[in-house]
Amino acid sequence: MPSTSVRLVETADAPALAAHLARDATEFARWQPARPVGFHTAEHQAARIDGLLDGHRAGTGWPGVIVADGHVIGQVTVSTILRGPLQKGFLSYWVATTAQGQGHAGNAVAQVLDVMRKELGLHRAEAHTRLDNLPSHAVLRRNGFTPWGVAQAHIHIAGTWHDELFWQHILTDTAPRP
């Protein structure tokens, strides 16, 4: 089993994230929307991280990095945290192409589900994947997610609207935090 951990992102992670995103831009372009000019630079990533950490302090997200053998290899993020009667968050993640296929994504998702349950006190985790993203389907299934619907023409990537599969994982049955 690979050595994988997750932790809150830090501004100091910007150069490593930018390097992965720049190197993997062509591969990731098939799964992610178009990125603004400069997205793959350390400066842009540092500003993005600062915004994500502002959201964390406001309670609307938990931005993390995936670390393997002491090196940042990707990101895992809980966003759009909703409180009140919903108590849910949206999970997204990516792993650098140099570290894919080694179990890191699955391990990171498992750890973040624990963060969502214990630290954030959430009831439900949700995720979306393109219908043809079979590796992500496998990661989510291994972590107890079940598909619950298809959103037609849900995301615009590479000039085309794509359908997405919606996933859910119930984390706890405890009552919402006040």
Q: What are phi and psi of 152, to 5 degrees?
A: -75, 140
- The pTM (predicted TM-score) of the whole model is 0.93
Enumerate residues 6+ apart whose C-beta is below 8 A from 141.
Answer: none
Each residue of 104-160: pLDDT tens digit? 999 999 999 999 999 999 999 999 999 999 999 999 999 999 999 999 999 998 899
Single-letter amino acid code for the residue at 30: R
Per residue in 72-109, pLDDT (tens digit) is 999 999 999 999 999 999 999 999 999 999 999 999 99
48 in the Ramachandran plot: left (φ > 0), alpha (ψ -120 to 50) or beta? alpha
Give the residues across from 63 on adjacent strands.
77
Domain 4-170 architecture: 3-Layer(aba) Sandwich (3.40)
Tokens 């591969």 appear where? 27
Would you kindly state where each structural domain of the chain is located, as residue ranges? 4-170
pLDDT in tens, 8-41: 999 999 999 999 999 999 889 888 888 888 898 9
**Which DSSP string do the residues of 65-113 spell out, in sequence order?**
EEEETTEEEEEEEEEEEE-TTT-EEEEEEEE-GGGTTSSHHHHHHHHHH
pLDDT value for 153: 95
